[in-house]
C-alpha cells in the first residue's frame, strides 16, 4: 500500500505571523516609551534640583564670606525715577559672583568682575565657558552645547530680583513693584560691591522667600527691553540667557495685561515647543514676560517650576499657582501671610 508523501512546512514565518510579531513589538514599544520618558524627565528634574541646591549653598557661603551680604542679583529697581525707568543693572551677574562657590574659581580668576562681561577680552573668554551647574537638562529649547550663536554660556535659572504683581488683583501692575531678595542695591552701593541686600533684611523669613528659580526656555531670539551697554548682546539688546549678563536676574510679573494666561506667574502660557514661540495670545519670542521670556518657567511634568529659597531648601511651585502667592514668595519683607495649604 503506497503512502502519500508528507508535505514539509517551509522554514520561516508566514506573512500573518510576521505581522502579529510586528504588532506585538509595536505595542511593547508604545508601552515602554512613556516609561522611558518619565525616567529621563525624573533624572533631568533631579539634576535641575541638585543645581539649585548647589546655588543655595553658594549663596550662604558667599554671605558667610561677606558678613551677611547676599550676592547681587544683577538687576535692581531705581525707585527714585520709578516708574519711568525702574530697572537698573550692576556690571556683573549673580552667576559671576558665585563662581568661586560652585567650584569655578579658575573661571572667576579670568575675569575683571567689576567690569561688564563684554568689556574686556578676558571677560569675554570667561563668559564663553559652559558652566554645567547653570544648566537644567529639561530645557527643550536651548542648544545642547550650552552656548548661544555668539559662543556665550547659557543659564536656565535666574535670581528673582523684583515682582510687580498686584497683591490684590494678581495682575501685573508696575505701580506695585517691590524688590526681591537678591536685588541689586543700586548705584548708591559701595564702590565695586559684589553683594546686594543682606540676610537680615529678609524679615518674612528665609524659608518663605525665593532666591533663585528656573527659567528654562530663555533663548535666542527672545528680545530684552533693555539696551546692551556695550552695544553688542543680542542685536544691541541685553542677552538675558547668558549667565554672565546682569539681566539674567528677572522680575516675576506674569504675562502682560490683556495677554492670555493672566493670573499665574509659574509657567504662564505653556505650549508645545513647536519652534519655541508659544501660543498666539502670548508669543514667547516677541513678547517679554510671555512663557519663558524672563519669567519662572520649565518643561517639567505639570509645568511645575523648582526654586531654591533663601534658607537653602528647594521647593516645587505648581504650574498655574496663583500669582499673588508668587508675589508673597518673591518679596523678602512684604509682611504677607502665606496660605496654610501652601
- What are the boundaries of each domain within the chain? 15-330
For 37-78, write each residue's pLDDT tens digit: 666 666 778 899 999 999 999 999 999 999 999 999 999 988
pLDDT of residue 4: 53
For 148-166, write each residue's pLDDT tens digit: 999 999 999 999 999 999 9
pLDDT of residue 327: 96
**Stated pTM of the model:** 0.87
* Torsion angle (degrees, nearest 10) of CA 53, 56, 60, 63: 150
Cβ within 8 Å of residue 115, ≥6 positions away: 91, 92, 123
**Is the pLDDT assigned to residue 130 strictly greater than 60?**
yes
pLDDT of residue 162: 95
* Residues pairing with 48 in the sheet: none
pLDDT of residue 73: 94
Other C-beta atoms within 10 Å of 236: how many?
A: 11
Amino acid at each position: 500500500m503506497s503512502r502519500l508523501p508528507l508535505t514539509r512546512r517551509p522554514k520561516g514565518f508566514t506573512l500573518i505571523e510576521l505581522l502579529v510579531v510586528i504588532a506585538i513589538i509595536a505595542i511593547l514599544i508604545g508601552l515602554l516609551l512613556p516609561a522611558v520618558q518619565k525616567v529621563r524627565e525624573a533624572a533631568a528634574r533631579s539634576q535641575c534640583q541638585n543645581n539649585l541646591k548647589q546655588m543655595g549653598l553658594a549663596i550662604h557661603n558667599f554671605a558667610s564670606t561677606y558678613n551677611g551680604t547676599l550676592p547681587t542679583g544683577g538687576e535692581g529697581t531705581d525707585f527714585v525715577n520709578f516708574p519711568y525707568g525702574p530697572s537698573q543693572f550692576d556690571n556683573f551677574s549673580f552667576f559671576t559672583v558665585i563662581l568661586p562657590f560652585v567650584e569655578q574659581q579658575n573661571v572667576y580668576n579670568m575675569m575683571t568682575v567689576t567690569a561688564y562681561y563684554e568689556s574686556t577680552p578676558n571677560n569675554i573668554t570667561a563668559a564663553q565657558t559652559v558652566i554645567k551647574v547653570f544648566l537644567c537638562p529639561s530645557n527643550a529649547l536651548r542648544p545642547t552645547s550650552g552656548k548661544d550663536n555668539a559662543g556665550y554660556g547659557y543659564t536656565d535659572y535666574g535670581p528673582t530680583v523684583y515682582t510687580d504683581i498686584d497683591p490684590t488683583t494678581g495682575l501685573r501692575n508696575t505701580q506695585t513693584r517691590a524688590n526681591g531678595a537678591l536685588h541689586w542695591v543700586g548705584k548708591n552701593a559701595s564702590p565695586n560691591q559684589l553683594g546686594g541686600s543682606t540676610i537680615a533684611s529678609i524679615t518674612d523669613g528665609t524659608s518663605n522667600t525665593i532666591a533663585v528659580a528656573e527659567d528654562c526656555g530663555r533663548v535666542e531670539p527672545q528680545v530684552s527691553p533693555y539696551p546692551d551697554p556695550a552695544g553688542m548682546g543680542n542685536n544691541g539688546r541685553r542677552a538675558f540667557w547668558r549667565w554672565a549678563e546682569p539681566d539674567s536676574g528677572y522680575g516675576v510679573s506674569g504675562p502682560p495685561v490683556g495677554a492670555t494666561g493672566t493670573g499665574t506667574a509659574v509657567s504662564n502660557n505653556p505650549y508645545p515647543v513647536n519652534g519655541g514661540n508659544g501660543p498666539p495670545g502670548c508669543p514667547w519670542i516677541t513678547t517679554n514676560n510671555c512663557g519663558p521670556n524672563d519669567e519662572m518657567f520649565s518643561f517639567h511634568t505639570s509645568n511645575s517650576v523648582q526654586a531654591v529659597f533663601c534658607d537653602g531648601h528647594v521647593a516645587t511651585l505648581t504650574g498655574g499657582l496663583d500669582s499673588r502667592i508668587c508675589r508673597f514668595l518673591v518679596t523678602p519683607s512684604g509682611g504677607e501671610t502665606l496660605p496654610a495649604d501652601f
